[in-house]
Chain A
């Protein structure tokens, strides 16, 4: 039982053997942290640039040729109209489709096609939804370049995400509760309306709010259907012409004068704040959902 000391038989670890692994781990961490730091730096820059313009006047002002007095009220109002209408359209459609796929559809070619199609739609560039909206909602249906046409377009864009999150919410409702309801003589719709929907509603809403947080920054499809870039009035009906916050940011960014870039930075701060607000609301809802124990 002698200790053999040929290189292979020497069990000892050499420091050099661990070095490459440690170095690789460091590189891996950098690959994650560096892009995040870059983003932080960019936001820091935008916040500093925007600081002098951030104030009540900016939020309640109308656009102007003079950068110093221009505000985002019409853009904010337009985005609010858009989000409200989009939610009104996307929630029933998305929830309906999710209910159909989860509770009603039987495995068939058509069901498989619908599922495949939802996946496909999620990969279609958003600007193509804009072309769809331009042709169908603006021209064929005759909505014109209205806030309603914009909302319809965004609703179709959000639909895959709303359907997917709603299906997940429906799946969290235990099968045993459905069976209990059936055993009491309730039919399928009664079971869904009285038992399943109330339980999964917070989950569905969370998904919808997260989708809206995405939609509020969508720019390309709205430009394509012809949202205006200079609006000095507030939308007063679903048929009004409109602008939206990201469009206003785009407009100011496209101008050569640095003063407008400052306005764009301020618009970005407001837009990100709104997104954070929506995400926060979703997280709050989800927390509430998890606190409620059903079973």
Chain B
């Protein structure tokens, strides 16, 4: 990234390379000017420290989650955490099975993806393959607005407008449920899926489209049989990032999905997600150092690992796209 060519050759050139000869001459000059070089070094160190803050943030998150989770797992076995099917840390009969929270998270996420995937993909195909360039330039950023709305606002919409509306059509839909917030979350992640898929589709080389046209394929067949399969990795990455966003989403579900950890696949009933549980405990003034306090870090660790794994997969898929390895 070095813009200036002082110091060792930025491309790791060997010592025979004329650039590094030139470099060594410059550094000799630098050493003649000792005071200035010192201040340069201090400044470089300060900027380096700023760069390291992001590393320390990640380390901080990992250390905090692991340390408090270790406290949690010293009292609750991992077997119980992964084996029990009930999550009742606040009751007298305490159970610490993560499954109800995980099920709630996956249920709302599944609903969100069911909304966002078809819409996002259709939008992406339209923008990349059919929209006139001018429409594309306007519509893409407009769609991004959906991702910029504060989630507390979405939560309000889900609870106060969407759920009552759905109750007219869906019998047995509770006031707090997975369906309403799931749908709203789908609207929220729609731009993530649409925008990244559009990038992937747009990046498919024109030569493939031309090959299909030259074989007498119509536009739709070209898109569905040639372009989309070639953009598969990129679209996969887009969907995975959307899923990851939905899993980590907090306020929509904390407001509108309820706070009852239950192991169910029924989208009409109240549920609780991992994120909503963390909010619930945080609101309750639970004293630090107690087991209840530590549960949110254990849940946070699970959340962290889940989203990290998804992001890593998406990262690999996208890198394949950028390298052209998917083609």
Touch A–B, Cβ below 8 Å: yes
Asked if A250 meets B282 with Cβ closer than 8 Å, knowing A106-B1, A114-B54, A272-B153, the reply is no
**Interface positions of A from 212 to 235, Cβ below 8 Å from B:** 213-214, 216-220, 223-226, 229
State the total of A-B contacts with C-beta under 8 angstroms: 259
Q: Which residues of B contact A100 (CB under 8 A)?
A: 44, 47-48, 50-51
Q: Which residues of A contact B255 (CB under 8 A)?
A: 250, 253-254
Tell whether A27 is near chain B: CB-to-CB under 8 Å.
yes
Cβ contact within 8 Å between A97 and B50: yes
Q: Which residue of A29, A39, A139 contacts B288 across the interface (Cβ within 8 Å)? A: A139
Cβ contact within 8 Å between B161 and A105: no
Cβ contact within 8 Å between A188 and B40: yes
A120–B62 Cα distance when bound, in Å, is 13
Cβ contact within 8 Å between B152 and A249: yes
Tell whether B61 is near chain A: CB-to-CB under 8 Å.
yes
Q: Which residues of B contact A160 (CB under 8 A)?
A: 54
Kindly report which residue of chain B lies nearest to residue A227, judged by CB atoms: B282
Q: Which residues of B contact A99 (CB under 8 A)?
A: 47, 50
Q: Which residues of A contact B219 (CB under 8 A)?
A: 21
Cβ contact within 8 Å between A96 and B46: yes
Cβ contact within 8 Å between B51 and A101: yes
A41–B90 Cα distance when bound, in Å, is 39
**Interface positions of B from 47 to 66, Cβ below 8 Å from A:** 47-55, 57-58, 60-61, 64-65
**Interface positions of A from 249 to 292, Cβ below 8 Å from B:** 249-250, 253-254, 261, 264-265, 268, 271-272, 275
User: Would you give the shortest CB distance from A201 to chain B, in whole angstroms?
Assistant: 16
C-beta contact mask, A97-112 vs B, less than 8 Å → 1, else 0?
Answer: 1011111111100010
Cβ contact within 8 Å between B47 and A131: no
A9–B254 Cα distance when bound, in Å, is 63
C-beta contact mask, B122-146 vs A, less than 8 Å → 1, else 0?
Answer: 1101110011000000010011011
Cβ contact within 8 Å between A36 and B146: yes
User: Would you give the shortest CB distance from B270 to chain A, in whole angstroms?
Assistant: 14
Kindly report which residue of chain A lies nearest to residue B151, judged by CB atoms: A219
Tell whether A203 is near chain B: CB-to-CB under 8 Å.
no
Asked if A217 meets B54 with Cβ closer than 8 Å, knowing A107-B10, A123-B241, A139-B288, the reply is no
Q: Which residues of A contact B288 (CB under 8 A)?
A: 139
Q: Which residues of A contact B296 (CB under 8 A)?
A: 131, 224
Q: Which residues of A contact B220 (CB under 8 A)?
A: 20-21, 24
Q: Which residues of B contact A131 (CB under 8 A)?
A: 61, 64-65, 278, 296-297, 300
Kindly report which residue of chain B lies nearest to residue A261, judged by CB atoms: B160
Asked if A96 meets B187 with Cβ closer than 8 Å, knowing A124-B307, A128-B303, A217-B153, the reply is no
Tell whether A172 is near chain B: CB-to-CB under 8 Å.
no
Cβ contact within 8 Å between B61 and A219: no
Tell whether A184 is near chain B: CB-to-CB under 8 Å.
no
Kindly report which residue of chain B lies nearest to residue A118, judged by CB atoms: B54
A42–B143 Cα distance when bound, in Å, is 16
A145–B220 Cα distance when bound, in Å, is 57
Cβ contact within 8 Å between A250 and B251: yes
From B74-82, B166-174, B242-250, B260-268, the one touching the partner chain is B242-250
A120–B315 Cα distance when bound, in Å, is 9
Cβ contact within 8 Å between A93 and B53: yes
Tell whether B16 is near chain A: CB-to-CB under 8 Å.
no
User: Would you give the shortest CB distance from B34 to chain A, in whole angstroms?
Assistant: 12
A225–B311 Cα distance when bound, in Å, is 25
Asked if A271 meets B52 with Cβ closer than 8 Å, knowing A28-B123, A96-B47, the reply is no
Q: Which residues of B contact A130 (CB under 8 A)?
A: 278, 282
A232–B207 Cα distance when bound, in Å, is 65
A53–B149 Cα distance when bound, in Å, is 22
Cβ contact within 8 Å between B54 and A42: no
A168–B47 Cα distance when bound, in Å, is 17
A94–B157 Cα distance when bound, in Å, is 34
Cβ contact within 8 Å between A128 and B1: no
A291–B8 Cα distance when bound, in Å, is 38
Q: Which residues of A contact B290 (CB under 8 A)?
A: none
User: Would you give the shortest CB distance from A49 to chain B, in whole angstroms?
Assistant: 8
Known A125-B249, A246-B251; 10 more pairs at CB < 8 Å: A34-B119, A94-B50, A107-B12, A124-B61, A125-B275, A128-B61, A128-B65, A219-B251, A253-B152, A275-B148
State the B residues within 8 Å of A (CB): 1-4, 6-8, 10-12, 36, 39-40, 43-44, 46-55, 57-58, 60-61, 64-65, 68, 118-120, 122-123, 125-127, 130-131, 139, 142-143, 145-146, 148-153, 155-157, 159-162, 187, 190, 194, 218-220, 241, 244, 247-251, 254-255, 275, 278-279, 282-283, 285, 288, 296-297, 300, 303-304, 307-308, 311, 315
